[in-house]
Amino acid sequence: MASIDLQSLLRHRLLMVGGKGGVGKTSIAASLALIAAKRGRRTLLVSTDPAHNLSDIFQVPLGPDSKTIAHNLDAVELSPERELDEYLESIRKQMLPHVAVGMRPALERQLQSTRHSPGAEEAALLERITYLMDQREEYDLLIFDTAPTGHTLRLLSLPQTMAAWSAGLLAQKQRSKGLASLLAHLDPGRDINNPLAEPEKRQPGASNSPVLAPMEAREQRFRRAAKCLTDTTESTFLFVMTPERLPLLETGRAVKALSEKGVSIAGVLCNRVLPPQAETVGFLKAVLHQQRTVLAESERVFKKIPQGQLALMENAVAGREGVELFAKELEQVLDGALKQSVEAGRSSADAAG
């Protein structure tokens, strides 16, 4: 079983840390961000969890604007509700100058109904994530603490959806204003079946329409995000799970789905593993045996993926001191596992020689 390479993990520009709720992914994302910052990488830690776990862990108030919480480390905590409010307000400002006065009440009603539409908050959140990904040049490393599968698969499919939507709207414009040349750039038959194809060589706003220009810019931004997520030299995913049946099943499905989309999987880290001493404690003995069964199954299911195990900590991760202690443990485990793997390889080579 290959071990997770911490140095390689932190060498990427974008690191997504995800997993089933309650497995400790926020603690691990925060610890990795702290390790990266201490190693000299200018890091932005982003949480999309509405429970505000990042604020709780560092015990500092965080919000949508980046805040420095340590040397080389900034943090952002996104709120789906806030992002939706700002997203709809931006649409309102874009549309109002182009809507007749008599139609403005209808526009307001439409925006209000959109606020309560299924998936509206997620769409607004994805919009902000793509903006942050576009700004990654300001940092050496972006770490996202998020549930990966749904968000990422939607990011990968949005360019295709945006291209089809844009083509439809531009077709209507073409019939009324002669935009045939622009429509040709968005012909679904050219790249709709490959959402990760190179974007058309056109500038945002090429339609010369103040209504369509933001949509064109959004389409290109989503294309860049999708391209970044599938660039194995730039982006990677680390899955966190606990040695339990349900997290194993969910992680297996997520790894399969993202791998099929061409997303790099850095590894699967199993958190809260009981120590061997649990064998001597009556009510923990059965749990330990269950964990060992899941760990064995995990090694089989993810045999082609680097893996790591992190022992159950005595105390909850809370405050800067708690994060630093957890980060130290995580660093020792991952660096130590890699060192053992290298030494084992050398021993095998020596024996063969």
Which pLDDT belongs to residue 215?
A: 73
Q: Report all structural domains of the chain as residue ranges with CATH numbers, in order of start.
A: 6-82+121-346 (3.40.50.300)
Which pLDDT belongs to residue 288?
A: 95
Which pLDDT belongs to residue 323?
A: 93
Number of neighbours of residue 297 by Cβ within 10 angstroms = 15
Number of neighbours of residue 248 by Cβ within 10 angstroms = 22
How far is residue 351's CA from residue 353's CA, in Å, rounded to a whole number? Answer: 5
- pLDDT (tens place) for every residue of the chain, 353 residues total: 789 999 999 999 999 998 888 899 999 999 999 999 999 999 999 998 777 788 889 999 999 899 999 999 999 999 888 888 888 888 888 778 877 888 888 888 888 888 888 778 877 888 888 889 988 889 999 999 986 567 777 777 776 676 666 666 656 655 655 444 544 555 544 444 343 344 445 455 555 566 677 777 887 888 888 889 899 999 999 999 999 999 999 999 999 999 998 999 999 999 999 999 999 998 899 999 999 999 999 999 999 999 999 999 888 888 889 999 999 999 999 986 545 544 444 444 444 45
Q: Residue type for 5, please? A: D
- Looking only at the bridges linking them, the beta strands covering 67-70 and 14-18 are unpaired
Which pLDDT belongs to residue 156?
A: 73
Which pLDDT belongs to residue 154?
A: 75
How far is residue 46's CA from residue 29's CA, in Å, rounded to a whole number? Answer: 9
229-248 tens-digit pLDDT = 899 999 999 999 999 999 99
To which residue do tokens 């024996």 refer? 351
Is the CB of residue 76 less than 8 Å from the CB of residue 44? Answer: yes
CA end-to-end distance (rounded Å), the chain: 23
Which pLDDT belongs to residue 160?
A: 66
Is the CB of residue 145 less than 8 Å from the CB of residue 26? Answer: yes
Which pLDDT belongs to residue 196?
A: 39
Which pLDDT belongs to residue 249?
A: 94
Which pLDDT belongs to residue 236?
A: 95
SS (H, E, C) the chain: CCECCHHHHHCCCEEEEECCCCCCHHHHHHHHHHHHHHCCCCEEEEECCCCCHHHHHHCCCCCCCCEEEECCEEEEECCHHHHHHHHHHHHHHHHHHHCCHHHHHHHHHHHHHHHCCCCHHHHHHHHHHHHHHHCHHHCCEEEEECCHHHHHHHHHHHHHHHHHHHHHHHHHHHHHHCCHHHHHHCCHHHHCCCCCCCCCCCCCCCCCCCCCHHHHHHHHHHHHHHHHHCCCCCEEEEEEECCCHHHHHHHHHHHHHHHHCCCCEEEEEEEEECCHHHHHCHHHHHHHHHHHHHHHHHHHHCCCCCEEEEECCCCCCCHHHHHHHHHHHHHHHHHHHHHHHHHHHHHHHHHHC
Which pLDDT belongs to residue 207?
A: 56
Q: Which two tokens stand for residue 20?
A: 């089933």
Which pLDDT belongs to residue 209?
A: 65
281-300 tens-digit pLDDT = 988 999 999 999 999 999 99
